Amino acid sequence: MMLADFKLPRDSFELDVHLQLPTQGITALFGRSGSGKTTLLRLLAGLEVQPGSRLSFRGQVWQNPRTLVPTHKRPLSYVFQEASLFPHMKVRKNLEYGYRRIPDSERQLQPQQVIALLGLEDFLERYPDQLSGGQRQRVAIGRALLTSPQLLLMDEPMASLDVESKAEILPFLERLRDELEVPIIYVSHAIEEVTRLADHLVLLEAGKVTAQGNLQQLLTDPALPFIQTDTASSVLHGRALQADSGDGLSEVAVESQSLLISRSNLQPGQKTRVRILARDVVLALTPPPDISLLNCLHTQLLDIQPDPNPSQALVRLQLGEQCLLARVYRRSVERMALKKDQGIYALIKGVAVA
């Protein structure tokens, strides 16, 4: 567990947070620009210090009124928005820079392991200016990992990348989450990144924590703003049943039901998760025959929430231990006489790998 208490005055707001963060998986600090995300990350790193603050990591006290562990003595690495590689060094030397800073006895990750994990094999003899933005950021992440940190802090590492570069780097960030035991605190204001990568979420607004907890639960919480946006969505966890059979679709088990997703590189038994937009879910009282939609899940209606658009409603559905959102017309709710605990079928028009 990571415990933090910070109170820091700023010109436009006061950062005042109390955090209890898991030390596994990815925790996203999410909020609008200016909400305090980067300031909070810098406080966690020790790059900014406020007297009276408290911070502990896995039982190690990093800061309290009597103790202050400086940044260079905290077992962490920090990845900034810009890769900031040494321009006169080739990729291999940039990576080795991080590795050589650590005594042999403290090295948990080896260069070849990180090179393979981040797909850097073809770039080792190139200079940074010969790489794309996404490739440079992967090298920066590799350099950070080769200091064998117990905690990795990432400050909007894709903010300066174009759409193509973001699509290139996301699978590698997923591999870090799934294959390493290094906890990551990830700053972003892009909900698409958060839903694809994060396990735990901290929602910041004007320097205050308005919510923190499991990503799946917070995305579908009626008390939070996520379900009121045009991109309201659910994240479902599943396990691959069958790899791509040649048509680009893989079969995934979600709560003992089958879901086909557009992903060709899944292996049977592999854990995965999918993001489903509420607007891509259609409801039916019975499973309709002879339609083009491939995904039809049997669910139970949890409740019906108001929508910013008065002609629509948000329906929360229970799928085993998970929750699925559907955005439908209010007239449809009335015509179908939808009510709490009713069994209903969710037809899914589009499934995005999350």
Mean pLDDT, range 5-22, rounded to an integer: 90
**CATH number for the domain whose boundaries are 233-353:** 2.40.50.100
Identity at 276, one-letter amino acid code = I
Going from N- to C-terminal start, the domains of the chain cover 2-219, 233-353
pLDDT of residue 354 exceeding 70, the answer is: no
- Determine the pLDDT at residue 39: 94
- CATH code of the domain made up of 2-219: 3.40.50.300
Mean pLDDT, to the nearest integer, of 296-319? 96
Question: What was the pLDDT predicted at 266?
Answer: 79
Is the per-residue pLDDT at 12 higher than 80?
no
Mean pLDDT, rounded, of the chain: 92
Distance, in Å, from the CA atom of 112 to the CA atom of 51, rounded to the nearest integer, reads 41
Average pLDDT of the residues in 304-316? 96
What integer pLDDT is reported at residue 71 of this predicted model? 95
* Nearest alpha carbon to residue 327 among 339, 317, 340: 317
pLDDT at 242 exceeding the cut of 80: no
Give mean pLDDT, residues 303-327.
96
162 has a pLDDT exceeding 60: yes
pLDDT value of residue 352: 57
- Asked which of 42-51, 52-61, 93-102, 206-215 is least confident by mean pLDDT, the reply is 93-102
State the pLDDT at residue 353: 54
Q: Is the pLDDT at 200 greater than 90, yes or no?
A: yes
Q: Are 61 and 3 in contact (CB under 8 A)?
A: no
Percent of the chain with pLDDT over 70: 98
Contact call for residues 28 and 19 (beta carbons, < 8 A): no
Tens-place pLDDT, residues 87-131 = 999 999 999 998 888 888 888 889 999 999 999 999 999 999 999
Q: Is the pLDDT of residue 248 over 90?
A: no
299 has a pLDDT exceeding 60: yes
Q: What is the mean pLDDT of residues 276-289?
A: 94
Model pLDDT, residue 265: 73
* Average pLDDT, integer, range 283-306: 94
Q: Is the pTM of this model over 0.75?
A: yes
